[in-house]
Homo-oligomer: A and B are copies of this chain.
Amino acid sequence: MTTIKDVAKQAGVSVATVSRVLNGNGYVHEDTRSKVEQSIRELNYTPNEVARSLYKRKSKLIGLLLPDIMNPYFPQLARGVEDEMQENDYRLIFGNSDEKKQKEMEYIQTFVQNNVVGVISSTNDPEADMYTGLNIPVVFLDRTSNDRPSVFADGREGGRIAAQEMMLRGSKEITVMQGPADVRPALERFEGAVEVLEERGAAYQVLKTTSFSLTDAEGFAYELFRQYPDTDGVIASNDIVASAVLKEAHRLEKRVPEDVQIIGFDDILLSSLLAPSLSTIHQPAYEMGRAAARLLIELIEGQHIERSSIEFPVEFMERQTTRKVES
């Protein structure tokens, strides 16, 4: 590897001068500057970020922690974060937490050990010591925190909308699927839906689920129609689960949306491709990722922060698993 010393020798100057050229600070004579730049080009030199990071005690690295990149919702967040970071010359150290505290801690620790300058995390416990004790900025993505920077969608409102649309379109026996209890956004959606149902005195049932994986989802879908064969409206905890419900409804030869309406959550790629296509609550995941990255960069670079919590609105995507509303 070529080092700053090689460049200095080649250009006939000291390492300090090369460093000044590199960073564009201090005085450097124009002729010297060109000589150094030429040597840099000739030797194809790029500075070692590790050495820089050690002295300055900060790197150009960001830690990104998501529950599971295989869940189709998260790649959109990840890509939003990556694009924004890439454009601002930051790089990502990436890890999957599986919503497990242990893995989360391990990652946070190695983030710190590698001098990351900021962290973006989807955690269910923003108040955990591993976060409150960090002395670098953290942005919580897809998760709410009262007093710490976060970027999230209005899950409660999403749940409310889902329930309203369900009732508006004529479902009388609604089943609300409650996602994993320890996953915050899942809980909020659920609460939002139940709120509306209670307010209006509607009949509804709850089916608790414990995971978002497809194989598990198929089991929940089976269970749903076994326990509540007469349900005519299902508010699913996300689009994966909704897909499984749709598939099971087909298997039972129920007509969708005539016999049973289904509303999902997230609006992943899959949703628009299903037949019938899935009505769902859209979250602007890619934009949320970008926003989280922008916010983190502002925090890192110490600019004035307007709002340190950004809530994105959600939107009902009317597709084919809900009935048309007569106008």
Give residues in A with beta carbon < 8 Å to B: 1, 46-51, 53-54, 57, 59-61, 64, 68-70, 72, 74-76, 78-79, 82-83, 86, 91-96, 103, 106-107, 109-110, 112-115, 214, 240, 243-244, 246-247, 250, 269-270, 272-275, 286
A sample of 28 cross-chain residue pairs with beta-carbon separation below 8 angstroms, ordered by A number, consists of A46-B109, A46-B112, A46-B113, A48-B54, A49-B113, A49-B115, A50-B59, A50-B115, A51-B54, A61-B93, A61-B114, A64-B94, A69-B69, A69-B78, A69-B79, A70-B75, A70-B79, A79-B96, A83-B96, A91-B107, A92-B93, A93-B93, A93-B94, A246-B273, A246-B275, A250-B275, A270-B270, A275-B275
Contacts of A113 in B (CB 8 A): 46-50
A50 near B54 (CB under 8 angstroms)?
yes
A94-B112 contact in complex given A50-B54, A247-B273, C-beta closer than 8 Å: no
CA distance A87 to B221 in the complex (A): 33
Quick one: which of A96, A106, A250 has the most chain B CB within 10 A? A96
**Which residue on B lies nearest to A286, using beta carbons?**
B70
> In the complex, which residues of chain B have a beta carbon less than 8 angstroms from the beta carbon of A270?
269-270, 273
Residues of B within 8 A of A68 (CB): 79
Chain B residues in 8 Å Cβ range of A246: 273, 275
A94 touching B96 by the CB < 8 A rule? no
Q: Are B95 and A114 in contact (CB under 8 A)?
A: no
Partner of A114, one of B50, B79, B83: B50
